[in-house]
Amino acid sequence: MKAVVTGCAGFIGSHLAETLLLAGSAVTGIDSLSDNYSSRAKVGNVERLRKWDEFEWSELDLAQDDLDGRLEADVVFHLAGEPGVRTSWGRRFEVYERNNVLATQRLLEGLKSQPATRFVFASSSSVYGQAERLPTPESTTPRPVSPYGVTKLSAEHLCHLYRHTFGMDSVVLRYFSVYGPRQRPDMAFHRFCLAALENQPITIFGDGRQTRDFTFVSDVVAATTAAAQASVASGQTYNVGGGSETTLLDAVEIIGELAGCALDVRCQATQVGDVRSTGADTTRAEADLAFRPATTLTDGLAAQFRWIQEGLRDV
């Protein structure tokens, strides 16, 4: 397979690109190396990928740069975008609109002449908002409660629009709370593990009893690669979740056990745009993609904890 991975320098994108390369695929990685978090981490991810002869690197801004000749592939995995619910309010909405909506539209425009190329779009459980049903099936009407969720849903609509208008081959994946090694430093588990290792307090927004369907990154990658190959997936939308709903306090308890100490947990007010609970009904993904999450939260957190621990040793 010849693949393009946008956002290849990021958390999930670097894991996906690495998995494709290990499977023998040729991969063109695209990333703008934006400054939404440490460029050092992103550059490190790219350098890891450049060890493969089958990897081609392009530093591009999808919302601005010329994409002619850059998208020739069997499949384009679109993982690039502006992440984060809490920072999507106010003046920064323009950044989200540009990097999540405009960038997706320009990719789709660039692929109109390649109807045989499958377009796999990484969306988010944030499109559901305060879901009325848990676990939540894909048939649930999306009602995002953050500007971030609005932009991801808008990009989903663009995928469906270009499919129906131009016959493009697209698949939408809604990721639920992805975690694991290389996770962004602003995300909860990264912050919690680092605080535990440095004997610092852990801050939770809300009472800690809110639940999430945490999904380990290798399970997300497995579902994403399956979506590229399953013929029945064309035109479909799939939830990709970890298989169980867990409270933040229960997750913190696991991290405390990994650290071998009691953790100082401090709760603050719930942030605007945060939802109470998420849970993925993955029946459709199980049927069409043979997707079943393989990593328990305990094992996944242990892997992430070790990764952060090793990173501190290297500093």
Which residues have a Cβ under 8 Å from the Cβ of 235 and sit 6 or more positions away?
160, 163, 169, 170, 171
Contact (Cβ atoms closer than 8 angstroms) between residue 158 and residue 108: yes
Name which of 242, 73, 233 is nearest 169 in CA terms: 233
Phi, psi dihedrals of residue 94, rounded to the nearest 5° = -60, -35
Q: Exactly one of 96, 128, 148, 175 is catalytic; which is it?
A: 148
Name which of 52, 10, 31 is nearest 186 in CA terms: 10
Which residues have a Cβ under 8 Å from the Cβ of 32 and sit 6 or more positions away?
59, 60, 61, 62, 80
C-alpha span between 94 and 227 (Å, rounded): 30
148 annotated active-site: yes
**Residue 39: CA atoms inside 13 Å, Cβ hemisphere, count?**
6
Which residues have a Cβ under 8 Å from the Cβ of 119 and sit 6 or more positions away?
75, 76, 78, 107, 108, 111, 159, 168, 169, 170, 171
Contact (Cβ atoms closer than 8 angstroms) between residue 72 and residue 99: no
Residue 122: strand pairing partners: 173
Catalytic residue set:
148
